[in-house]
Structure formats: C-alpha cells, structure tokens
A and B are shown apart, each in its own frame.
Chain A
C-alpha cells in the first residue's frame, strides 16, 4: 500500500500526501472500478509564506521543541465508555421515529499531557461528543446521552454541573467573548465561580497569567479595560482560551477553534495548544486534517456517529487500519 510512500518527506497538507498514481482498485470497492474516471491531478505545490512571523508564545529556546517534548502521556483524565448521543428522543419513551443518533457507542480515554484530535467530516457527531464531555448537551432538551463518562474515575453525572464545567473547560467554534472588557472576560469565571466575589486586585495576577499563557498579554497589556468585542477574531479566540484556562481546568475542549480565523491567528493558537498540552489534557475537534496532524498526539476518526479509528497521530495518518480512515485522510471524501 501507499503507506510506505508517505513516510519520510511528509508534506504538511494531506491533499498533497496522496500520490498521483493511485491504482483504481485501491480507491473504490470492486465492481464499480470500470466506471471510475482517472484520478484528478494533484494541485501544484504552493508554499504559503506568511507575511509576518506568528507571534511567539513559548520562550525562544523552547520554540522549536513543542512537539518533541512529550515523553509519555500522563494519567488518564476522562474515560468514555460506550457513549451514545441521541437527538429528538421523546422523554422517557424509547425509539422516536424522528430521533437521530448522533454518536454511537464511543469508547475513548483522554490523558493529561496529550492532545486528542477528533476528526471526521461535518455532521459526524464530533461536536456532540465534545459537548457532552462537559454536559452541555443537557442544554438541548431533546438530547439524550447513554453510556458512561468518568472524570478522574468519577461519573460526571454525579458531579455538580458547575463543578464539572470548572474542571473541564470549553472553547467554542465562534469566538464568544462577553460584551465586557478584556479583564472582566478573563476574570469572569474567577469571579463568578467563587462564593464570594473577589476584588480586582486579588485576581489580577491570575488574569494576567492566563492572558500570558494564552499569548495575548503582550498585545493587550496597555489597556485591559478595552471592550473585548473590539479585538480581532484571532485575539478574541485567544481571549476565550485565556478565559477558559484562567481557573486552571484539567481538560480543555476546543470545538474547531480556528475555523473562523486567518492563518496567522491559527498558527498562534496551534502553538498555544502545544504549550497548554503540558499542563492539561486537550481535546480538539477539527475537520482540518492538516491541523490535526500538526497539533495532535492522538487522533480519533469519527464517521456518521461511529468511532472508526483511534490511535496515535502517526498511526492514524500514516498507517490507518480502517479503509474508511485511509480514504478520508487521503482526501477522497469529506
């Protein structure tokens, strides 16, 4: 198979990873081979030159070492056992005709210190799965979840939702800073989670630290009281990350965090993910395969609600076990 071809000179983009001469038999199941047109020529390779360097997040001496730092995965944080999500089920009654099963029997484990990328075409249940990890699916009245999710060995249903969500933070697809100042945004969880509202002076170090870890501090330090909605899209998303990590969660969930952003902001956030990986478990949903390849340690490929393949990034991208994964990774559909 063509796995061997793809070992050494890995281009960044899986589009380019597919070698031009594909034997028809390996692309499509036998039977329809005769009608298959010859494969389209691969687009010419272009080098994308960013007009300025991405903002450095890590100190210079660590800058090149992001990916190689991981020695071994840390302890298991989240465990998913046979998780299913169903929409449109009538409350209590089984099998509603209009119901739709979005996630089907997924079992996974998420470890501290590694980045898990959920990949797959649109509408295959990635986002539902991600949202259910912090019980946000409960906000949808028609959604029902089966199976078991454990956070550090404890069933998330037994945790108070506020406690769970302060330990498992979430960053959404569209940057959603609140209509308040930058400072208030980052301080939001610090202030509102605690029983007694802390003063600004008490939480300022934490806010600055979160902004710094999110790589935003240098850009906004002059005026932390600026309205957050005046920031650019990339800055807003990093602000949302800062907001999410300000209270020190154990797991960070990211739902296509870069899909609304330009390449420079995307690069900044990807570096940031590499940094954050050291202290928390990161789950990132993306249907940008190149991004998954750049940031992920483990990759889970989902298709129409099923977990098709789960393994290390190298294994899934370079030696996928399932035919469907191979096709998807190569760009045959999706």
Chain B
C-alpha cells in the first residue's frame, strides 16, 4: 500500500470554511461613457423584455378569463359569417384537431425517413452525398419560406383538375382546392422542417459504436435503423413532432387561403361520412380568431379573445411538452432542442 494515498492523510475536518467574501469590483465611474450607456441599455432592454413578455401573457390571460365560457367550447358557430350572436367555436376546435392530425401524419413519416436516409445512407458515394445535400437544402428552403407562399402553393396544387376528388367543385365545375385534405397536406410542409431537424440531430448523436454493435450482431442496416436507431431517438422525434404540431396549430395563412374563405362552420361535401367532411371546408382556431377580429368579417372580438386564449393554452401546453421531453432526455444524453425549436 502506498503510504501517501489520500486516505492516509488527515482531511482537514472541522476547519471553518472561510466566509465567501468578494473584493471590490471595478468602479462604474472609471468605465468609458459608451460602456456605461450600454450597461444601462442592457439592463433596460432586459427588464423591458420581461415587462413586454409579462404584459402579453397577462393581457391574454385576463381577456381569456373574461370572455371564455365553457359553452363556447361545445357549441357550434352560427351559420354565416357574422358571429355577433350566440354560438361558440366547436367547429374551429375540431378543425384544428383534424388539420393537425392530417398534417403530422404526413410529415412524420416523411421527416423521419428523410432524416434516416440522410444520416444512415447519405454519406456513401458522391451521388448520395449530393442528393443528401439537395434534400437538406430543400428542407432548409421550406423552413425559410413564408407560410403564405406555402399556402398559395398548396392552393395551386389542389386546384389542379386531377386532384379534384380531394376537394369540391364550384357550380361552374372549377376545382376549388379548398378542403381539409388540401389544407392538412399543405400544413405537413410547415411541420416537416422541425421534425426533420430534430430526428437528424438525434440520429447524428447516436454514437457509432451502437451501430457497429448492431451490425456485429448480424443485423442488416435497415433492421438496425428500425429496431435500434429509431427507438433510441424516439424522444427527438417526439420533440420534432410537438414542434411541428405547434406550427400547424398556430398557422393562419394556410387555413385562410386553402381551407376556407371565412365561414366558421365545417361544411361537409356530399354525404359520405368521413370523406365528405375531409373534402369539405371549415375553419380552425386561428382562422376563427382572424375572422372575428376587426380585420375579418365575423365582428365578434370577445369570441376572438376567447379563441385566442384557448389557442395560447394549446401553444403553452405544447411548449411544456417539449420542455418535459427535453428535460427527461437531457438526463440520458446531452441533446438540446434549442436550435430545432425556432
């Protein structure tokens, strides 16, 4: 045994730890004038940011509690555009849910498959690398494209005669392009970038040994992806999906342009139960808020406030979910969702 191993020495137990004292800091008066001003401005900006954030949240909270009544959530809006009378926003709630469901169920497989392909196959060979770069920059373009542009692109696509069965036709036989299917499919484009980014980051963070271990057990590459890699990045996929959902829930332009022209009620097309509904037009919470603000024709600000409050609660909940996933996952790995969030 080494005589000088640490345990052989008396630990200085019982010694008072010194009181933490701080020496003099640098005197503000010795700073340059510019620095003094910047310090002042930084404090001002920081406090201002807190105040603005607090004001927005507080204001929406107050208005929400003021105008939100439970019956608004379970009654259908009035027929017609004007919402001044009775009626709630059941239809917009359903609309938001349906749009989210369609959008995310298209975006999820697309985003995950593309991310898996990029990370697992996109490195070998020049052709693959250039395709990988192409895919990444395509998704980057989508991420940067304003939603209004995506909206009118979706409209243009679903107004093509071939896709007529997915929406309805006007009396003159022109395909309107307005339907839940069309809007949901268009929504999948805005949900794609965060999903893709989160999944790709997760896959890239999986250490190479995990793959090598799976290969060493005789698994093929695709089996490794399906049985090992995708399960191990589940929380990343969940994060990406949640971010995508909050994009869909919060988007207005696509709903206004592709789903409906302002009527707050969901109108089915034909009598087929589910398909008729999906081919029909409708509204979402965002378009309801827009339509009932002074900018729209609904003309019922109190309902707009109430719907906006519900919308804000959804976003708050989705944000909370992202935070929870991140916190749960941070314990097992150092993944940070900060970048993918925006």
Contacts and interface: CB of A to CB of B under 8 A. Distances in A.
Interface string B1-26: 11110100100100111111111111
A138 B26 CA distance: 13
A295 to B, nearest CB: 26
A147 B22 CA distance: 13
A84 B20 CA distance: 11
Contact of A101 (B6, B15, B21, B23): B15
Given A32-B1, A195-B30, A92 B24 contact: no
A160 B26 contact: yes
Contacts of A333: 2, 4
Judged by DSSP, the binding face of B is loop
A138 B19 CA distance: 12
Contacts, number: 81
Given A94-B17, A99-B17, A147-B18, A304 B24 contact: no
B20 A143 contact: yes
Contacts of A164: 23
Given A28-B3, A195-B32, A333-B2, A159 B16 contact: no
B27 interface: yes
Contacts of B25: 160-161
Contact of A138 (B1, B12, B16, B22): B22
A126 B1 CA distance: 26
Nearest to B18: A146
Given A135-B23, A162-B26, A197-B32, 17 more contacts: A32-B1, A84-B15, A86-B17, A89-B18, A94-B17, A95-B16, A96-B17, A99-B17, A101-B17, A143-B20, A144-B19, A146-B17, A146-B18, A156-B23, A159-B23, A161-B24, A195-B31
Interface of B: 1-4, 6, 9, 12, 15-27, 30-32
A288 B9 CA distance: 23
Contacts of B4: 303, 324, 327, 332-333
Contacts of A99: 17
A152 to B, nearest CB: 15
A246 to B, nearest CB: 19
Given A304-B6, A304-B9, A333-B2, A160 B30 contact: yes
A94 B23 contact: no
Interface string A18-47: 000000000011001000000000000000
Contacts of A143: 20
A144 B17 contact: yes
A267 B18 CA distance: 40
B24 A157 contact: yes
A91 B19 CA distance: 7
Interface in A31-73: 32
A156 B4 CA distance: 35
Contacts of A157: 21-24
A161 B26 CA distance: 6
Contact of B20 (A32, A89, A159, A197): A89
A144 B20 contact: yes
A104 B23 contact: no
Interface in A157-197: 157-164, 195-197
A305 interface: yes
A243 interface: no
A145 interface: yes
Contacts of A159: 23-24
B16 A94 contact: yes
Nearest to B9: A304
B21 A86 contact: no
Contacts of A138: 22-23
Contacts of A196: 32
A24 to B, nearest CB: 12
Contacts of B26: 160-163
